[in-house]
Amino acid sequence: MQYRTLGRTGIKVSPYALGALMFATSVGNPDPDDSARIIHKALDAGINLIDTSDAYGDSEEVVGKALKGRRDNVVLATKVSRPMGDDPNQQGASRRWIMTAVENSLRRLQTDHIDLYQIHRPDPGTGIDETLSALSDLIHSGKVRAIGSSTMPASDIVEAQWVAERRGLERFHTEQPPYSMLNRSIEREVLPVAQRFGVGTLVWGPLGQGLLTGRVRKGRQNELRRAGFFKHLNDERRLDAVEQFISLAEKAGLPLTHLAMAFAIAHPGVTSALIGVRTMDHLDGLLTGLDVTLTDDILDRIDEIVPPGTEIGTLDQAYQPPALENPSLRRRPLTARAAA
């Protein structure tokens, strides 16, 4: 295993990281003991970073139980800010909620510290200085070792770095954006900004939320829907691109998953790619591709199918900034328009 440095933290992490959403019994593997075996096998293979979230059902509990006796050898990451109930204050990135949520995560994870504590989604309603101040206090208390953001626009990453320097606060050490052969928009600004500021990146969705597993073939969408797989298969452009990637993988003598994962970790701005496995077979299949390196010819062909810095379709969990989500922020009031 060739380990990489996580930003400027000095922490060494594996190029594959284990995403823990599928260990939640309500949405993934219903057997916590089986999830523990998967986690142990990943650790035995050299994967040393596990990423979960307080919003992933009982994932933190499953991970915490599985790590008994092995906690010191794991870079343990979790996240905060997604809603944890109907109470409007049980979400977001306010000091009030962060200080409560971190204690809950520590208890569920059965640990006295979190190696990487991340803001799961940007919180436009909370000043970034408020968030960084709370996170800085957690670092100073020893409960958290490093802090990060997730799906943060490049301009917000720059602002957070500037505020941290201006206010004498701890800065974000990492960013967790979506990235795959189908979704490459972070190459335009997010990855260059992260590299400029020495921010490590843990990319999620390297398999395109299942589209790059090889199970999705054009013309078979209805069959997969009936089987309960892949709810959103209506984008013909994405399916056309997947067919081209399948052909490319076959010519290269690789499973599509190995092509997709090798692409994700080939970018110099990417530290690790998160794999969200649900079964031991899923893990075994991905582990055999750990040493795959793509040639320039293959990377050039990927660039032809989906050009650098572009996207084909949008991931289900992609963050939409308020300016895009709220029409009132991009439309003048009717009275102003009528006057003009």
Of how many residues is the chain composed?
340
Of the candidates 142, 288, 282, 301, the residue with the CA atom closest to the CA atom of residue 207: 282
Handedness of CA 117, 123, 124, 125 (dihedral sign): negative
Beta bridge partners of 118: 79, 148
The yes-or-no verdict on residue 231 having pLDDT over 70 is: no
> Are the C-beta atoms of 114 and 122 separated by less than 8 Å?
no
Pairing type for strands 75-80 and 49-51 reads parallel
Q: Can you give the three-state secondary structure of 110-154, one letter per residue?
A: CCCCEEEEEECCCCCCCCHHHHHHHHHHHHHHCCEEEEEEECCCH
Catalytic residue annotation = 56
The yes-or-no verdict on residue 313 having pLDDT over 80 is: no
* Poorest-pLDDT segment among 189-203, 265-279, 314-328: 314-328
Amino acid at 110: Q
The rounded distance, in Å, linking the Cα atoms of 301 and 307 is: 9
Average pLDDT over residues 296-305: 98
pTM for the complete prediction?
Answer: 0.92
Amino acid at 215: R
**Which domains does the chain possess?**
4-339 (3.20.20.100)
Residue 220: pLDDT band (50, 70, 90) is low
The yes-or-no verdict on residue 136 having pLDDT over 50 is: yes
Block residue for tokens 């299942």: 210
Predicted pLDDT at 272? 98
